[in-house]
């Protein structure tokens, strides 16, 4: 490996952390914002090759990468036909156990998506794409579509949740009218499975979840169960993109359910469903009704519950923990993330606790390094002076409170996702830059993938200070997701 000078390393580090990615060539880009231009340029890709089996580092080698990032690349670029959103990353068995990386993200067709910045609304064209690396990110295969291309709204899939087991990858997605559940074909939840091979994944076909309630099956069964259990006004079943939770053969999925009346309110709750046979058959678990009702605008003048879409984050084989971001639009008061907890197979209401993390926006993911029993939390936080969000990552406790400082990854970002390879190195994927053509109703991003060691993260962590808290003048509700 070529040795870099101290000056060069510092320059690379500064570039990687403080600049953002906006195009496949090194060029300037301007975010078309109400407040004027924001010049952003991106650094060159850094794709160091790890020559060990599966691209994994041994214990003695991990420390050699604490002063530099192993990989940082523009993995998926928005173009004139589609733009990328809601990326999720997960690890699986690749060339060797725990060396594979799968990334899944929305490919939203330009001009047909972005209604309230929601992917699946019954009229949009959104398909899910993926890339796969069998060797720890040394190389990724080509970008491919998961299932059918979205040539019609009925084929749209979005808000992906990934489950992995061995070389099996399953993706659960929102479909139908998605977030606008009162429209036909109503809210739907679909699943597809595939097997990793080479640099790609061989996918089966999209199907309804195999779940029943009385005489109802599939998505209709979920909708009817929600109405009977949580209240007739819960008319939307949706997902927050992220990783599904697995313990042995038990798969746990957290759904967002919404009491949604357009231009009046969106009251968010959560419902857990689970499979005890590896995603073949599904059953109903605990739920959480919406908490409170604040007077802050949701879109743009209506109200919301205190917490928005829920995402499952932890499962120990008995207790499932979901997380929900606080309602923050138009309100400068820092609020804590919510944790919903319950026994996965119980059908009662989950308990609500809060964390000490006060300024999360909802673009979060939690990953566990099982070898060291360490948790890593990636999150986008509001900046104090502009709309743009800071992407950070930090070690957290099992009850999701920060341990020490956070590492600031970029200054312009949307949602992110984090996973841990078998060697303990950390891999992330995120919306890390606005692209040309972004508007108030279609926020477009490029997708960036990174890999680094826990030592690198700790060496570059910093106390962010006041800029991490909400901007009291923040009023761009239509670009919040």
Q: How far, in Å, CA of 109 to CA of 82, rounded?
A: 4
pLDDT at 396 over 80: yes
Beta-bridge mates of residue 272: 254
What is the tens place of the pLDDT at every residue in 103-130? 999 999 988 876 667 889 999 999 999 9
Q: Is 241 exposed, middle or buried (0-12, 13-18, 19+ CB in 10 A)?
A: buried
Neighbours of 287 (CB within 10 A): 25
pLDDT at 480 over 80: no
Beta-bridge mates of residue 144: 130
Q: How far, in Å, CA of 458 to CA of 480, rounded?
A: 29
Q: Which helix (H) or strand (E) holds 408?
A: strand 407-413
| Choice between 128 and 295, residue whose per-residue pLDDT is larger | 128
Among 114-128, 152-166, 223-237, 248-262, the minimum mean pLDDT is found in 114-128
Please say whether the beta carbons of 175 and 122 come within 8 A.
no
Angle at 185 (CA atoms; ends 180, 190), nearest 5 degrees: 85
Helical spans, DSSP H, in 387-481: 454-459
Q: How far, in Å, CA of 481 to CA of 476, rounded?
A: 10
Q: How far, in Å, CA of 14 to CA of 7, rounded?
A: 11
Taking the alpha carbons of 238, 241, 246, 249 in that order, is the dihedral positive or negative?
A: positive
Q: How far, in Å, CA of 136 to CA of 327, rounded?
A: 37
Please say whether the beta carbons of 243 and 160 come within 8 A.
no
pLDDT for 305 equals 85
pLDDT for 3 equals 34
Peptide bond before residue 185 is cis, with ω within 30 degrees of 0? yes
What is the tens place of the pLDDT at every residue in 377-391? 998 876 444 445 678
Exposure class string for 138-177: b at 16+ Cβ within 10 A, else e: bebeebeebbbebeebeebbbbbbbbbbebbbbbbbbbbb
Q: Using alpha carbons, select from 170, 166, 173 the residue that is nearest to residue 93.
A: 166
Please say whether the beta carbons of 123 and 81 come within 8 A.
no
The residue length of the chain stands at: 481
pLDDT at 187 over 50: yes
Among 111-115, 136-140, 274-278, 449-453, the minimum mean pLDDT is found in 111-115
* Three-class secondary structure of residue 221 per DSSP: helix
For residue 215, is it left (φ>0), alpha (ψ between -120 and 50) or beta? alpha
Token duo for residue 61: 């080698």
Please say whether the beta carbons of 147 and 205 come within 8 A.
yes
pLDDT for 261 equals 85
pLDDT at 301 over 70: no
What is the tens place of the pLDDT at every residue in 51-64? 999 999 999 999 99
Neighbours of 331 (CB within 10 A): 16
For residue 11, is it left (φ>0), alpha (ψ between -120 and 50) or beta? alpha
Residue 467: band (very low, low, confident or very high) from pLDDT cuts 50, 70, 90: very low
Token duo for residue 191: 């699943």
Residues with Cβ within 8 Å of residue 176, at least 6 apart in sequence: 120, 122, 154, 185, 186, 187, 188, 219
Residue 2: band (very low, low, confident or very high) from pLDDT cuts 50, 70, 90: very low
| Choice between 32 and 76, residue whose per-residue pLDDT is larger | 76
Q: How far, in Å, CA of 148 to CA of 164, rounded?
A: 21
Q: How far, in Å, CA of 358 to CA of 477, rounded?
A: 19
Mean pLDDT of 240-259: 96
Q: How far, in Å, CA of 256 to CA of 261, rounded?
A: 16
Maximum CA pair distance of the chain? 69
Please say whether the beta carbons of 372 and 354 come within 8 A.
no
Residue 51's φ and ψ, nearest 5 degrees, are -80, -5
| Chain mean pLDDT for the chain | 83
């Amino acid at each position: 490996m070529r040795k870099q000078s101290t000056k060069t390393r510092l320059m690379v580090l500064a570039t990687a952390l403080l600049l953002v990615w906006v195009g496949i060539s090194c060029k300037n880009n301007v975010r078309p914002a109400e407040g004027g231009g924001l010049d952003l340029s991106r650094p060159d890709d850094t794709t160091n090759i790890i020559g060990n089996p599966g691209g994994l580092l041994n214990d003695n080698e991990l420390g050699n990468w604490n002063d530099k990032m192993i990989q940082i690349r523009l993995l998926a670029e928005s173009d004139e036909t589609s733009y990328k959103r809601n990326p999720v990353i997960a690890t699986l068995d690749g060339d060797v156990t725990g060396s594979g990386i799968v990334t899944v993200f929305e490919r939203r067709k330009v001009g047909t998506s972005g209604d309230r910045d929601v992917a699946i609304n019954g009229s949009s064209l959104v398909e899910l794409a993926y890339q796969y690396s069998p060797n720890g990110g040394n190389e990724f295969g080509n970008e491919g579509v998961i299932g059918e291309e979205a040539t019609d709204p009925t084929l749209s899939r979005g808000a992906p949740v990934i489950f992995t087991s061995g070389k099996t990858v399953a993706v659960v997605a929102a479909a139908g009218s998605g977030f606008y559940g009162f429209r036909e074909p109503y809210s739907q939840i679909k699943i597809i499975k595939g097997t990793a091979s080479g640099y790609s994944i061989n996918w089966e076909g999209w199907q309804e979840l195999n779940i029943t309630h009385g005489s109802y099956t599939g998505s209709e069964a979920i909708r009817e169960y929600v109405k009977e259990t949580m209240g007739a006004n819960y008319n939307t079943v949706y997902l927050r993109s992220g990783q599904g939770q697995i313990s042995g053969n038990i798969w746990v999925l957290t759904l967002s359910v919404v009491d949604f009346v357009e231009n009046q309110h969106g009251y968010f709750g959560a419902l857990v469903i689970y499979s005890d046979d590896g995603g073949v058959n599904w059953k109903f678990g605990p739920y959480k009704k919406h908490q409170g009702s604040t007077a802050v605008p949701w879109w743009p003048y209506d109200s919301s519950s205190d917490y928005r879409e829920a995402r499952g984050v932890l499962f120990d084989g008995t207790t499932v923990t979901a997380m929900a971001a606080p309602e923050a639009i138009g309100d400068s008061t820092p609020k804590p993330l919510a944790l919903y907890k319950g026994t996965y197979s119980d059908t009662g209401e989950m308990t609500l606790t809060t964390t000490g993390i006060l300024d999360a926006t909802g673009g979060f993911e939690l990953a566990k390094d099982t070898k060291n029993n360490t948790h890593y939390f990636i999150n986008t936080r509001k900046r104090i002076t502009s709309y743009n969000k800071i992407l950070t990552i930090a070690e957290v406790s099992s009850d999701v409170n920060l341990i020490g400082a956070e590492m600031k990854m970029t200054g312009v970002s949307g949602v992110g996702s984090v996973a841990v390879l078998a060697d303990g190195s950390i891999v992330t994927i995120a919306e890390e830059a606005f692209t040309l053509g972004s508007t108030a109703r279609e926020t477009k991003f490029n997708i960036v993938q990174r890999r680094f060691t826990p030592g690198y993260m700790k060496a570059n962590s910093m106390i962010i200070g006041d800029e991490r808290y909400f901007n009291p003048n923040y009023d761009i509700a239509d670009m919040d997701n």
